[in-house]
């Protein structure tokens, strides 16, 4: 494995069966990278079966002898460890004081990494930062700009009231759509699709919580950072493009087709993540009857999401 000495940034890309998207993501990274940028690029593969590992080896195996400096460190997991555990494997190889977690179904636009890194370095109280994460049609991926899913915020979101009253802090506490997404500001929760993290902050929370397999890990991550006193920053002056759901197949923005069986499993993981987060952080704060009501609501949501998949519906 080839490595870069004394990098300023370690980029960790966790891949699972999205070979073509991964190669496009890597290409966009190296096209953006300047001669003075000292980036360590780590690809962690979660036992893909689509030839991802072979494709990366073929394209980057002689990179260490290239004047372009396009070096990829490849870590091969023997099984699919999920998002949290898979990224934690990548952290073990990270040598820089800042780590960027980047989804393989994203494309780097212009100098988003350099500018985001500059902002983070200039503000020592920022534990993490995300940019504008944009869907292929130009819409904002709401996951990059969120509040925490308290029972009230979750109820407003799933009931549709947050869409009816997008400018109300009372009804839109999860999407935080009452804040101007054209301007930089502090937020509660960013997305794991593009999450720039100060390593000292990640070390304090022991990085990703492996109680989560798929989905919800970024909310837990940001919650723990905030509990340690770190700020999380939304910086929309730069952006990436996110082909959201390309591994799960749950979103219309996905660039790949995913089997119904796999989508059902991922939907269950997503609802399980809600249950885990609620029990970790909110369960003991409410009376027993309310606790059961929330858990019942989560179970109902699970059935609804399964119904959507069985009937062929996907999220916008």
Domain map of the chain by residue range?
248-316
The pLDDT value given to residue 5: 75
**What residues contact residue 290 under an 8 Å CB cut-off, 6+ apart?**
151
Q: Which helix (H) or strand (E) holds 235?
A: strand 231-242
Using the structure block, give the residue that is written with the tokens 């920022």: 126
* pLDDT tens, position by position, 226-267: 999 999 999 999 999 999 865 555 545 555 666 777 777 777
* pLDDT tens, position by position, 160-210: 999 999 999 999 999 999 999 999 999 999 999 999 999 999 999 999 999
Helices (H), 125-284: 151-159, 161-164, 199-204, 217-227, 260-281
Q: Which helix (H) or strand (E) holds 174?
A: none
The stretches in the chain having pLDDT less than 70 are 1-4, 61-69, 245-258, 313-316
Beta bridge partners of 75: 44
The pLDDT value given to residue 304: 78
How far, in Å, CA of 116 to CA of 133, rounded?
A: 13
* Reported pTM: 0.87
3-state class percentages of the chain: helix first, strand second, coil last, to nearest 5? 40, 20, 40
Query: Which tokens sit at 183?
Result: 């301007």
Query: Which tokens sit at 270?
Result: 């997503």
The pLDDT value given to residue 309: 75
Share of the chain above pLDDT 90, in %: 70
């Amino acid at each position: 494995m080839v490595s870069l000495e004394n990098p300023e940034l370690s980029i960790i890309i966790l891949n699972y069966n999205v070979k073509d998207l991964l190669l496009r993501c890597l290409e966009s990274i190296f096209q953006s990278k300047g001669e003075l940028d000292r980036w360590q690029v780590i690809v962690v593969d979660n036992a893909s079966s689509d030839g991802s590992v072979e494709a990366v080896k073929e394209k980057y195996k002689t990179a260490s002898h290239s004047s372009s400096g396009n070096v990829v460190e490849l870590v091969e997991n023997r099984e699919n460890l999920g998002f949290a555990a898979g990224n934690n494997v990548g952290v073990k190889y990270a040598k820089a004081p800042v780590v960027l977690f980047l989804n393989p179904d994203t494309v780097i636009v212009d100098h988003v990494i350099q500018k985001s890194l500059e902002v983070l370095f200039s503000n020592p109280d920022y534990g993490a930062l995300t940019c504008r994460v944009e869907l292929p049609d130009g819409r904002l991926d709401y996951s990059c700009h969120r509040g925490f899913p308290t029972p009230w915020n979750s109820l407003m979101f799933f009931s549709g009231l947050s869409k009816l009253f997008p400018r109300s802090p009372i009804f839109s506490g999860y999407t935080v759509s009452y804040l101007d997404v054209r301007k930089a500001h502090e937020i509660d929760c960013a997305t794991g699709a593009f999450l720039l993290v100060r390593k000292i902050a990640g070390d304090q929370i022991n990085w990703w919580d492996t109680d989560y397999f798929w989905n919800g890990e970024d909310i837990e991550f940001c919650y723990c950072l905030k509990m340690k006193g770190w700020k999380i920053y939304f910086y929309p002056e730069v952006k990436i493009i996110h082909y959201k759901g390309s591994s799960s197949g749950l979103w219309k923005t996905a660039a790949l087709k995913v089997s119904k069986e796999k989508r059902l499993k991922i939907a269950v993981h997503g609802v399980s993540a809600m249950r885990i987060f609620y029990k970790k952080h909110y369960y003991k704060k409410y009376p027993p009857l309310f606790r059961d009501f929330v858990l019942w609501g989560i179970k109902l949501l699970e059935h609804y999401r399964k119904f959507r998949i069985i009937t062929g519906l996907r999220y916008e």
